[in-house]
Amino acid sequence: MILHDLISFEMLRLIWWFLMGVMLIAFAMTDGFDMGVGALLPFAGKTDRERRVIINTVGPVWEGNQVWFILGGALIFAAWPMLYAISFSGFYFAMFLILAALILRPVAFKYRSKREDPAWRSRWDWALFIGGAAPALLFGVAVGNVLLGLPFHLTPDLVAMPDTGPLMRFLGLLNPFSLLCGVVSLALLVAHGAGWLVLKTTGAVQSRARKFGERAALVALLGYLLAGLWLAFGIEGFHYAAPILHDGPSNPLIHPVTRSASWLLAYSERPWITIAPVLGLAGCLISWLALRSGRELAPLLGTKLAIFGMISSVGLVMFPVILPSATDPASSLTVWNASSSHLSLFVMLVAACFFLPLIMIYTAWVYRVLWGKVSEDDVDDPELHSY
């Protein structure tokens, strides 16, 4: 028996769908609080020393946190090549803006401290704000558009063809439902960043972070509820129109998908997935209550729980669909029709089983070493903090 046959094609597809979710959740849990801290920087810090405190809470870890973003992109490219090709072309301008903001952020981190001129530092502070807030908003907008479906169809040769021009594709992303998802994403990551600042700072910075975090957690909670109601009563879902071939060839055109009454029909088919939105709502509520009651660790843990629940709820509701087509449902990509080959998935799984634990162990070690609060006295010592 060939080694890769020990794990069926069906199981490998499920494993890589699961790992894709793990990467997205890990990215949001780690780099998410970096973005939230950046979005809070001009508001939680009023003086240069306070803003330096805020920057130095994420200074040692922000680069490592982006590993999950890189891993997620590589995973999609290797395990779901059609998903990578269609989503990156469909979200081209949005991806450009996200990458521009993510590139702006490290430049701001490095350049801000090069001059003591207040105007110079203020400009880079706002660059950090853009580098945090813009990706947080646009990632949510992207999720909203995935739920709605992208305007594309596949030719008989499996070439993805957009059904609108580049400008209209970009403007089409800015629809009311997707903007609501963007607001939820931004609010959740701002609350996540506030939770991090409450844990890592003291005094006025911590107090302001609590205030903004409370509001953000409440906005995320109410926005998520509204988005759920919108999905239930205003947006059609997608489902298979025929029996599913779980281990068949990766050809969407022989696995027909059609529209359904609502995405939320998945809850009647798989009631156990209700736990995901419950965790999302509970996480927001825990964070809000913890911020109000003066806790330090609980707000951050609450937002991490909310991130896990909200991202999981999207993946579980959509399963097995991963990228629906709004204009030609039969071209939609699913777990069963858009993966790489059996051998490719197996070889990548062997590599992942070796490297993922190393990355997780190293990340945990870094956070353990860098545990503790950052004070204004600390940032005055160049041997302790460099930003």
Q: Please, what's the b/e burial string for 286-312 (b: 16 or more CB within 10 A of its CB; e: otherwise)?
A: bbbebbeeebbebbbbbbbbbbbbbbb
265: number of Cβ within 10 Å: 14
- 240 located within any domain: no
Burial class (CB in 10 A: 0-12, 13-18, 19+), 10: middle
**229 occurs within a structural domain:** yes
Residue matched to tokens 């995901």 = 276
For residue 130, being part of any structural domain is answered with: yes
Cβ neighbours for 266, distance < 8 A, ≥ 6 positions apart: 237, 273, 316, 317, 318, 319
Q: Do the domain assignments include residue 270? A: no
Domain count within the chain? 1
Element (H, E) at 80: none
Q: What is the pLDDT along the chain (387 residues), one digit of tens a residue?
A: 466 667 889 999 999 999 999 999 999 999 899 999 999 999 999 998 999 999 989 988 888 888 888 888 888 999 999 999 888 877 888 888 888 998 998 899 889 888 888 899 999 999 999 999 999 999 999 999 999 988 888 888 888 877 676 666 777 788 999 999 999 999 999 999 999 999 999 999 999 999 999 999 999 999 999 999 999 888 888 988 777 888 888 888 887 888 887 888 889 889 999 999 999 999 999 999 999 998 999 999 999 999 999 999 999 999 999 999 988 888 899 999 899 999 999 999 999 999 889 988 988 888 888 888 888 777 776 666 667
Is residue 384 assigned to a domain? no
β partners of residue 161: 153
| SS3 state of residue 154 | strand
Q: What 8-state DSSP symbol labels residue 371?
A: -
Q: Is residue 3 part of a domain?
A: no
Distances in Å between the alpha carbon of 350 and those of 6, 259, 345, 367?
A: 12, 37, 9, 27
- Provide the domain limits for residue 205: 8-234+341-379
pTM of the model: 0.93
Domain-embedded: residue 370: yes
- Output the pLDDT for position 2: 62
C-alpha R_g of the chain: 22
Question: Is 131 inside any structural domain?
Answer: yes
Rounded distance between C-alpha atoms, residue 181 and residue 226, angstroms = 10
Are 195 and 33 a contacting pair, CB within 8 Å? yes
